[in-house]
Structure 1
Amino acid sequence: MLFAYTYVPHQMERMHRFINFIVYQIWCRAPKAGAFSLDLFDANPPLKEVMTSFAYGDTQAGDRFYTQVQAIYQSFSGLPRCEIAQFKRWHQGNNNLEDVCANSPRVHRARYADIALSHPKLSDQLAVFFKGLYSDSLLNLAALRDKIGDIANHYQAFVKRNKGDKCPFCGISDLLGEYHSKRDAYDHYLPKAIYPFNSINFRNLVPACHHCNSSYKTSKDPTYPPKDPAGATTRRKVFFPFAKAHSGIDIKVTLPHVNLEKMTPAEVALSFGPAGSAEQIETWKDVYGIEERYRAKLLGVDGKAWLVEVLDEWRWNEQSAGAEGKAPEKYLQDVSRHTQRSPYANSNFLKDSFLQGCKAVGLFDTVDQVVASA
Structure 2
Amino acid sequence: MWYFYNEFDNDELDNLISQINGVFCSIFMIIEFEYPSWMIGIKLREDFEEFKHAFQLSSQDEKENLADAYRKNIQIDNVCNLSVNPVSYDDLLLDASQDFMRCINVLKSIQAYLYDNLLKLKGLIEAVGTLKNYYDKFYVESVDYVCPFCGLGTMLTSKDKFREAFDHYFPRSKYPFVSLLRRNLFPICHTCNSTYKGDKNPRDYGKVFYPFSTEDNDCEPVFNIRAGVIENIEITSQYFQEEIETWNEVFGIKDRVKNFADENLNGWMSNIQEAMKNYNVDYEYAKNAEIDCCKLNKMQDNKFIKKAILEAL
Partner of residue 6, structure 1:
6
**Structure 1 contact 268–295 (Cα < 8 Å) conserved:** no
- 1:259–1:52 distance in 2 versus 1, CA, 3 Å: closer
Shift of 1:127: 2.2
Question: Residues 284-315 of structure 1: CA distance to partner in whole angstroms, max 9, x if unpaired?
Answer: 11111101111111111x2222122123223x
Shift of 1:82: 4.1
Aligned match of 2:256 in 293, 298, 301? Answer: 293
Question: Residues 48-93 of structure 1: CA distance to partner in whole angstroms, max 9, x if unpaired?
Answer: x122232xxxxxxxx3x23321221111112344433332221111
Aligned match of 1:88 in 67, 73, 91? Answer: 67
**Structure 1 contact 298–354 (Cα < 8 Å) conserved:** yes
Shift of 1:6: 0.7
Query: Which amino acid in 1 is paired with 2:111?
Result: F
Query: Which amino acid in 2 is paired with 1:340?
Result: K
- 1:304–1:23 distance in 2 versus 1, CA, 3 Å: same
What count of residue pairs does the alignment treat as equivalent?
Answer: 308
User: Over aligned residue pairs, what C-alpha RMSD do you find?
Assistant: 2.1
**Structure 1 contact 131–199 (Cα < 8 Å) conserved:** yes
Shift of 1:165: 2.0
Aligned match of 2:111 in 130, 134, 157? Answer: 130
Shift of 1:252: 0.8
Partner of residue 299, structure 2:
344
Q: Is 1:162 equivalent to 2:142 in the alignment? A: yes
Partner of residue 26, structure 2:
25
- 2:126 and 2:60 mapped to 1: Cα distance? 36
Partner of residue 80, structure 2:
101
Instruction: Using the TM superposition, name which of 117-126 and 198-207 deviates more.
Output: 117-126
Shift of 1:335: 2.8
- 2:200 and 2:146 mapped to 1: Cα distance? 22
- 1:258–1:149 distance in 2 versus 1, CA, 3 Å: same
Shift of 1:96: 0.5
Runs of 4+ aligned residues of structure 1 deviating over 6 Å after TM superposition are none
Partner of residue 196, structure 1:
176
Q: Is 1:113 equivalent to 2:75 in the alignment? A: no
Shift of 1:147: 4.2
- 1:259–1:4 distance in 2 versus 1, CA, 3 Å: closer
Partner of residue 37, structure 1:
none
Instruction: Using the TM superposition, name which of 185-194 and 10-19 deviates more.
Output: 10-19
Partner SS, residue 340 of structure 1: coil
- 1:339 and 1:332 mapped to 2: Cα distance? 11
- 1:325–1:168 distance in 2 versus 1, CA, 3 Å: farther
Partner SS, residue 268 of structure 1: strand
Partner of residue 243, structure 2:
280
- 2:121 and 2:132 mapped to 1: Cα distance? 14
Partner SS, residue 292 of structure 1: helix
Q: Is 1:356 equivalent to 2:307 in the alignment? A: no
Aligned match of 1:243 in 191, 213, 238? Answer: 213
**Structure 1 contact 89–109 (Cα < 8 Å) conserved:** no
Shift of 1:336: 2.6
Shift of 1:174: 0.8
Shift of 1:143: 3.4
- 1:350 and 1:299 mapped to 2: Cα distance? 11
Partner SS, residue 187 of structure 1: strand
Partner of residue 258, structure 1:
227
- 1:108 and 1:85 mapped to 2: Cα distance? 16
Structure 1 stretches of 5 or more lacking a match?
34-39, 55-62, 226-235, 261-266, 318-323, 360-374
Shift of 1:325: 5.1
- 2:212 and 2:166 mapped to 1: Cα distance? 14
Structure 2 stretches of 5 or more lacking a match?
none
Greater radius of gyration (CA) = 1
Shift of 1:167: 1.0
- 2:104 and 2:143 mapped to 1: Cα distance? 39
Query: Which amino acid in 2 is paired with 1:96?
Result: Q
Partner of residue 267, structure 2:
305
Task: For 1:58-73, list aligned pairs within 5 A.
Answer: 63=43, 65-73=44-52
- 1:326 and 1:125 mapped to 2: Cα distance? 70
- 1:18 and 1:291 mapped to 2: Cα distance? 42
**Structure 1 contact 5–241 (Cα < 8 Å) conserved:** yes
Q: TM-score with structure 1 length normalisation?
A: 0.77
